[in-house]
Amino acid sequence: MVKAANSRGTTPGSSPRTRILIVGGGYVGMYTALRLQQKLKAELARGEVEMAVVTPEPYMTYQPFLPEAAAGAISPRHVVVPLRRVLGKCRILIGEVRSVDHAKRTATVATLATEEEGAGGVQLGYDELVIAPGSISRTLPVPGLALYGIGFKSVEEAIGLRNHVLEQMDIASSTREPALRDAALTFVFVGGGFAGVEALGELEDMARYATRYYHNIKPEDLKWVLVEATSRILPEVGEEMGTYAVRELRRRNIDVRLDTRLDSCENRVAVLSDGTRLPTRTVVWTAGVKPAPVLASTDLPLNERGRLKCTPRLTVEGVEHAWAAGDAAAVPDVTSKVPGAETAPNAQHAVRQTKVLAENVVASLRGQPLKEYAHAYVGSVASLGLHKGVAHVYGRKLKGYPAWLMHRVYHLSRMPTFNRKARILAEWTLSGLFKREIVSLGSLEHPRAEFELAAGAVPSRPLTRRHEDPPNGAKGRRQSRTGEDPGEG
């Protein structure tokens, strides 16, 4: 039985029912809400508890499948889970939390409606706060990056990048200017973690396949460069497998530059710290993440890297009724021998933390003792393209086809909902029977352009892109927030 919120005494502005506010609809937000829905089923039915999830998109993105979505191996709408469908007992509010005043137990939320109305945002009161806004790309002040860089964290960016790569091949195939052709066929990825290596591996594979259908582009005309500031890539799979991954990528003619940084990418020239100048129209930035900016607009304690200071019980340090997990939370790693170690920002911890988090929220409401989160990292799997991969899990090292298969099986098993699992499996099966899709549907990002032209207006976006346009990156992200699923790429 849930203790009545007004009997807790510690909750300012408390209401007769317990209001749980979840910030973020990603891994932590969705899984925590799912688990709380199950554990508090009776209380929700009796109206003693109500739950709200505030998130900018109406779907949770399964990020480890973004590289396959970019390569066209999985339809983009199948790597996302519609929150309204799976969280039937929660109120889903599409918007962004702009600030949190935990002392007063209120969050200020901007929604599409408040933007339309010109209102400053709505105030949401709560009794328990689960704060999980995740992370954003960690950028550096590299000249030209803000204008030309492309991120790789959202499904919109994955679709945008796929369209962009195919579009570069169309440009290269149709131009008579050798310099433009070379720049169009040069693809620079910065950052040798999961996101950068997997995205590069999948897209290189796709583009090499696509060259079969271009009369004047050969696989060796494509130049793929991976720039990594440290001496190794994929630290998650260990040194030996990381070294293998470098060898495997180089065998495919991918130029892997270790101990190298991107110094500038102004005027469509990527300048590396080793002095190399690469004219290119594609710079993909995947060099790490930093906590979501909203954390700085709360009265909750942050560490020196901007993550929420948490206890092993996943409560926010020094305050009551605030909980956190995932990329935004600095959770002490109680399994590590290194003093002060925190759990790494990855899905493995995020998902496991939600189990303890949800149990602890329920235990706290019922006046029961809380558990500690303890999980030793078990290793990882990474895909390097179709039928290629590396894995280091529970001490076992795998490479090539077995590692790739393990990557698929593992992530399919982790993909939320039977519906999405079945659809992805069906797509993989069909892709074994039919040829890969190689069309760019970049115009989907500007669906009104043709009609604007027909109606005599100046199109907000040209039908044929001008060469000097910056890459599309995450354009259209706001538009997608109004629908349930993002469009097909």
Ligand X SMILES: Cc1cc2nc3c(=O)[nH]c(=O)nc-3n(C[C@H](O)[C@H](O)[C@H](O)COP(=O)(O)OP(=O)(O)OC[C@H]3O[C@@H](n4cnc5c(N)ncnc54)[C@H](O)[C@@H]3O)c2cc1C
Query: Site residues (CB under 6 A) for ligand X?
Result: 23-29, 54-57, 63-64, 66, 96-97, 132-134, 152-153, 194-195, 292, 294, 326-328, 345-348, 350
Structure tokens at 127: 């009794």
Q: Which is nearer to ligand X, 171 or 328 (CB)?
A: 328
Looking at the Cβ atoms of 133 and 385, the one nearer to ligand X is 133
- Interior angle at CA 222, CA 216 and CA 228, nearest 5: 170
Q: Minimum distance between the CB of residue 147 and ligand X, rounded to whole angstroms? A: 22
Nearer to ligand X, 32 or 186 (CB): 32
For helices 418-433 and 401-414, the axis angle rounded to 10 degrees is: 150
Q: How far is the CB of 54 from ligand X (least distance, A)?
A: 5
In whole angstroms, how close is the CB of 18 to ligand X at the nearest point? Answer: 21
Smallest distance from the beta carbon of 269 to ligand X, in angstroms?
Answer: 26
Taking the least distance from each CB to ligand X, the nearer of 33 and 145 is 33
**Contact criterion met (CB below 8 Å) for 193 and 235:** yes
CB of 140 to ligand X, least distance (A): 18
Residue 398: in which H helix or E strand, if any? Answer: strand 396-399
Q: Residue 61 Cβ, how far from ligand X at the closest point, in Å?
A: 7
Q: How far is the CB of 418 from ligand X (least distance, A)?
A: 21
Cα distances (angstroms) measured from residue 147 to each of 199, 285, 398: 21, 12, 39
Output 185 or 474, the one with its CB closest to ligand X: 474
225: nearest Cα among 203, 196, 256, 246: 256
Shortest distance in whole angstroms from residue 26 CB to ligand X? 2
Q: Which residues pair with 300 in a beta bridge?
A: none
Which uninterrupted H or E stretch holds 425? Answer: helix 418-433
Q: Residue 416: which of 23, 20, 34, 68 has the closest Cα?
A: 34
> Which CB atom, from 172 or from 357, has the smaller least distance to ligand X?
357
- Residue with smaller CB distance to ligand X, 323 or 446: 323
Q: Provide the minimum distance between the beta carbon of 82 and ligand X in the complex, in angstroms, as a whole number.
A: 13
Q: What is the DSSP letter of 287?
A: S
Residues 325, 28: contact at Cβ < 8 Å? Answer: yes
Q: Nearest to ligand X by Cβ — which residue?
A: 26
Nearer to ligand X, 92 or 172 (CB): 92
Tokens 């001496």 — which residue? 231
Question: Which phi and psi (to 5°) does residue 213 adopt?
Answer: -100, 10
d(CA 489, CA 475): 13
Q: At a CB cut-off of 8 Å and minimum separation 6, what does 53 contact?
A: 22, 24, 25, 29, 30, 33, 83, 87, 90, 91, 92, 93
The residue among 155 and 265 lying less far from ligand X, judged by its C-beta, is: 155
Cβ within 8 Å of residue 432, ≥6 positions away: none
